[in-house]
Amino acid sequence: MLTEKTKTKGCGGNLQERQKKYRKFLWYALAGTLLGLFVLIYGTLKENIPDELFVYADEETDWETFFDDPLISYDETVEVSQNDSYQIRCSWLGVLPLKTIKVNTVEKQEVLAGGSPVGIYMETKGVLVIDSGEITDREGIRRTPAEHIIQPGDYICEIDGEVLTGKKQLMQLVKENQGEPMEMQVIRHQETIQLEMTPVQTADGSYKLGIWVRDNIQGIGTLTFVEPDGTFGALGHGISDVDTGERLEISDGDLYHADILSIQKGTAGTPGELRGVINYREENRIGTISGNSQYGIRGQLDPGKYTESMEKIPLGLKQEIQTGAAAIRCDIGDGIREYACEILEIDANARDTNKCFVLRITDSDLLSKTGGIVQGMSGSPVIQNGKLIGAVTHVFVNDPTKGYGIFIENMMG
């Protein structure tokens, strides 16, 4: 039999053991919290440091302004020479390596600042498939000839060895085929593949593939800059198909003069729009479009067109950008003007290269007419301290006074 004294001692021993385990748990929890905090700070610091930077040749760069964080240490300032590059090693408090930045040297450059609305006409590379569906054949049976074969976003480039250039040609080839299997060369996600489809004869005797296609796209945007050789950049983001959401692969295109006729004012939840007209006559064509990348459209202006009223302006690199006052340059129907804005945030290492900084429109005149940033203003140059630093790319749907911008160095490539 246990005595009362023995029982008391046993209970005290259990309490001490529980307290010991609890203290150990607290130490583990504290250690885990500190480790998690360390990982979070380390990851945040590393993420905020860009992988690559551009600096001006033959100019000493002081990195203290750029690395304005007491936790980040970096190599000493290095003077760079023309057509050279070097690396900057960044560390946490001079001990733990964070990232090595590749630094490229570039010549100081001036471009012509844009701001004018332009009409865009682009032809796709081949014929773009935007959807597929059912067809009722001549016996009344519902068929899906494209199912599990072709996908939205595919580009049909050749049929039976013949290069495909448009929808009308596709329809003619299907008509001439008379229901026989058709060999297709298709581009899917940048890869070329071979497919076979067989048209279905419908009740009226015609043949169909059961696909919806597109071979061109039109729209209005804003010209951002023109280089001395006539090369232009516009929009600040790629043009995607409205149905597939994929960025369009283009064969070629043309740039036209556009006129803004009216404005649909933007409100919270409903983006506004510049409504304009494009006259596709040859005399209104101002250049050719050669590329549609994630950074916008590129091409060549025709000599002597559209540059008379444009002003030269130096480029500003991302390490020169500061939060605070800036301006956007655009035309909302009454000529090109500069409107006041404010840069709120800068992400020097943005994962989305079209969303490098956040800006807010502060100009009362622009706010009264458009509500802020509206569709059609993509590509509007952003100017700060007399330099072209980027372009407007997106609007905040729930706050049209705010939007994103892209660094000009991204657009310049």
* Active-site pick, 241, 378, 380, 394: 378
Catalytic residue check, 378: yes
Looking at residue 274, what DSSP letter applies?
E
User: Distance of alpha carbon 4 from its chain centroid, rounded?
Assistant: 78
Catalytic residue check, 363: yes
* Active-site pick, 252, 259, 363, 399: 363
**Long-range Cβ contacts of 194-199 (<8 Å, 24+ apart):** 195/149, 195/150, 196/149, 197/145, 197/146, 197/149, 197/150, 198/145, 199/145, 199/174
**How far apart, in Å, are the Cα atoms of 38 and each of 27, 35, 41, 342?**
16, 5, 5, 34
End-to-end CA distance of the chain: 88
Catalytic residue check, 262: no
* Active-site pick, 215, 237, 347, 394: 237
Report yes or no: 200 and 192 within 8 Å, Cβ to Cβ: no
Report yes or no: 198 and 181 within 8 Å, Cβ to Cβ: yes
Q: Which residues contact 380 (CB under 8 A, 6 or more apart)?
A: 114, 115, 222, 224, 328, 329, 330, 391, 392
What does the alpha-carbon distance between residue 90 and residue 74 come to, in Å, rounded to a whole number? 4
**Annotated catalytic sites, by residue?**
237, 363, 378
